[in-house]
Amino acid sequence: MRNSYVSEDLKELIEKCLENDRTSQYRFYEYYSTRVFGVCLRYAKNFADAEDILQEGFVKAFKYLQDYSGKGSMESWIRRIMVTTSLNYYKKKNMLNKDVDPENTNILINKDYEGLSDMSHEEILELIRELPYGYQTVFNLSTIEGYSHKEISEIMQISVNTSKSQLSRAKQVLRNKIESIFKLEENLLAIAALA
């Protein structure tokens, strides 16, 4: 590590991990796994896959730990590994890169949709998990991880237009699902008021 952005405690922990000290590796895993498991859950189709991705990601983190330069936070470095591991996990299963036709990329999404604020984190996460995998992946990479469409196109080996299209369609699907949930709740409240 060539940079002073890393605390002395973290430097020492990393050095012990590189020496294959199992106690230090366990401490490292315990500390960071709780912080990055959410990344795995966002990309996984189910909880079991998320656990597999987490384990596989940490195997890679330990393998490449000597390459961590100390620039940026360790957590950010591990999060990137988890994103890459998630994408590769589904590439191996031929579930990634299911291109859709890149037309109609300019569907407008009302970003101030009020219903979203009434939903729990778990409800929103579940709606994202229900998206087709291509939509879900592009949505996560763009909206949550902050990648540009150019970066997404390189990561997923799709065109920039396909990335834009999938993001637009993902937002439209999410918007439709949220609207239908709140319409259903309004109807149920109206029925209950009549009873």
First to last CA, the chain: 68
Q: How far apart are CA 54 and CA 42, in angstroms?
A: 12
Q: How far apart are CA 106 and CA 117, in angstroms?
A: 24
| pLDDT by residue, tens only, the chain of 195 residues | 444 456 888 889 999 999 999 999 999 999 999 989 988 988 888 889 999 999 999 999 999 999 988 888 899 899 989 988 988 888 777 654 443 333 332 333 334 344 444 567 777 788 888 888 889 999 988 888 888 999 888 888 899 999 999 999 999 998 888 888 777 777 777 676 676
- What's the topology of domain 8-92? Rna Polymerase Sigma Factor; Chain: A (1.10.1740)
Q: Which of 101, 111, 83 is nearest to 172 (CA)?
A: 111
Q: Which helix (H) or strand (E) holds 12?
A: helix 8-18
Q: What is the largest CA-CA distance in the chain?
A: 70
Is 0.75 topped by the overall pTM?
Answer: no
Which residue type is seen at 37? F
The string over 44-54, giving b where at least 16 C-beta atoms fall within 10 Å of a residue's C-beta and e elsewhere, is: beeeebbebbb
Alpha helices for 64-159 (secondary structure H): 74-92, 121-129, 133-139, 149-156
DSSP 5: T
15 alpha-carbon distance from chain centroid: 29
- Domain ranges in the chain are 8-92, 114-194
Q: Which of 136, 16, 18, 121 is nearest to 67 (CA)?
A: 18
CB atoms within 10 A of CB 86: 27
pLDDT at 91: 78
Could you give phi then psi for residue 101, rounded to 5 degrees? -65, 125
Name the CATH architecture for the domain at 114-194. Answer: Orthogonal Bundle (1.10)
